Amino acid sequence: MATGDSVSPECKRPSTVHRTLDVMGLFCPLPIIRTAAEIRRLQPGQVLEVLADDPVALLDMPNWCKSSGHGYLGCSKDDGGMLRFFIEARSGRKGVKTHGS
């Protein structure tokens, strides 16, 4: 799969972004680890923007969203190679307890 396959040129910044996470200069697995930690701070329905430049994130981010139950809203890439991922926090995430044990 070419790295450009996951980039959507029509992906636009959602009208509301609640947090932005900058993982520029970090490589796999750190962008996903930091994204997972940051999205825990959001309420369901809130949007996290992740700024990255690791091309592996083009594969990792959508797959992580799918496996963790968060909404992958898309990715865009600027001329400088910066990737912008948009992820919607969702409740009832896989592997996360939603009530006391």
Write out pLDDT tens, residues 44-74: 999 999 999 999 999 999 999 999 999 999 9
> Where is pLDDT greater, at 101 or 11?
11
Domain ranges within the chain, ordered by starting residue:
14-88
DSSP string covering 24-79, please?
A: TT--TTHHHHHHHHHHTTSPTT-EEEEEE--TTHHHHHHHHHHHHT-EEEEEEE-T
Q: Which CATH architecture has domain 14-88?
A: 2-Layer Sandwich (3.30)
- By annotation, the residues acting in catalysis are 28
- pTM metric for this prediction: 0.82
pLDDT at 96 exceeding the cut of 90: no
Question: Measuring CA to CA, which residue among 35, 43, 44, 42 is closest to residue 75?
Answer: 35
**Edge-first strand listing for the sheet containing 83-88:** 19-22, 47-52, 83-88, 71-77
Q: What is the pLDDT of residues 1-20, one digit of tens each?
A: 344 445 665 577 888 999 99
